[in-house]
Structure 1
Amino acid sequence: MGIRFVLMVNKQGQTRLAQYYEWLTLEERRALEGEIVRKCLARTEQQNELAILEFIHLLVETMDRHFGNVCELDIMFHLEKAHFMLEEMVMNGCIVETSKANILAPIQLMDKTS
């Protein structure tokens, strides 16, 4: 089974980045996000799986490399770049790229031409 969605929320439970790889109605997305936020905020450290942690770590490291110590505001004000990075990494729910340099190359090229 592949990745069904990627969701980044802050500690207050506000969605900052959401990408779905299967079709859900807006109502279904809201319900799913609410349930996930409740579970994640209440979870213990023992509930994480290594592969997902590695993916999250790679995503944050990639954003760190581009934004320099990425923060919530970087994602909010550059949402298109955050989505682009995610789309370079995940296609149809499967991780397809793990090289930070390959993920960032198109963004850096866009930055130079604009």
Structure 2
Amino acid sequence: MIHSVLMFNNQGSPRLMKHYTPIPLSQQKELYDQIYNRIKLGEQQGQKTNFLTNNTESDATYQIIYKKYSGLYFVLLVDLEESPLRMLDFIHGFVECLNVCFEDVTELDLVFGWQTLQSVLEEMIVGGIVVEIDRKKIVQNIDELNGGHTSDNSLEGGVKRLGDTLFSFASGGFGTWSSSK
């Protein structure tokens, strides 16, 4: 079971915090700092693994599985029974879905597009259980949530969208808007 999905930037600022098991607010900041510090310490010591085990005060043991993508750490806190390689594959699939939804995702996209970020995560995980990993299906569902717009990344698609926008504007879009005010 996945207990938490976290995302940090290089400075340790949380960008995503989704908990599937309750963690008291008073302990969340301490947990984030502890995880971030362990990951950074491992990097400074030349650690070559993306898997850490953590023991908390309540003797609950879990795995910390993380992957760094362009300045962001994607972190999962999972049971010891979960396959670390499967969870790394999940993280990679999550990032690929975000990359398609945001067209070359950046940290700012995730900060300002948090609704899409949350939607992608909710399509993939329900109650701490991975329910969907088919990237095409996830992106299609997110696309339908956004009004059925397709993401055509080709040059022709961009020119067509620009042409449609200019045609709408020239057809009285601004004039209609300003006369109704």
TM-score normalized by the length of structure 1: 0.90
- Structure 1 unaligned spans of 5+: none
Measure how far apart 1:46 and its partner are: 2.1
- Does the alignment pair 1:46 with 2:17? no
The equivalent of 1:66 in structure 2 is 101
When Rg is computed on C-alpha atoms for both structures, the one with the higher figure is: 2
Q: Say yes or no: does 1:86 pair with 2:113.
A: no
**Which one scores higher on RCO, CA 8 angstroms, separation ≥ 6?**
1
**What are the ranges of 5 or more consecutive residues in structure 2 without an aligned counterpart?**
52-83, 150-181
Distance in 2 of aligned mates of 1:16 and 1:94: 21
What TM-score do you get using the length of structure 2 for normalisation? 0.58
Structure with a larger share of its residues in strand: 2
Shift of 1:71: 0.9
Counterpart residue number, 1:107 = 142
Give runs of aligned pairs for residues 12-27 of structure 1, distance below 5 A.
Answer: 12-27=11-26
Q: Which is worse superposed, 45-54 or 30-39? A: 45-54
Give secondary structure in 1 for the equivalent of 2:108: helix
Could you tell me the percent identity over the aligned residues?
31
Equivalent residue for 2:111?
Answer: 76
Aligned partners of 2:33 and 2:104: how far apart in 1?
Answer: 28
Q: Any idea what SS the aligned residue of 1:45 has?
A: coil
| Aligned twin of 1:7 | 6
**Contact 1:11 / 1:41 at 8 angstroms: preserved in 2?**
no
What letter corresponds to residue 31 of structure 1 in structure 2? E
The Cα of 1:113 is off from its aligned counterpart by 5.9
Deviations 1:27-70 (A, max 9, x none): 11111111111111222222433222111111100100111111
* Root mean square deviation of aligned Cα: 1.6
Which secondary structure state, in structure 1, belongs to the residue aligned with residue 143 of structure 2? helix
Q: What secondary structure sits across from 2:7 in the alignment?
A: strand
Residue in 2 that maps onto 1:57? 92
Q: Which structure has more helix as a fraction of its residues?
A: 1
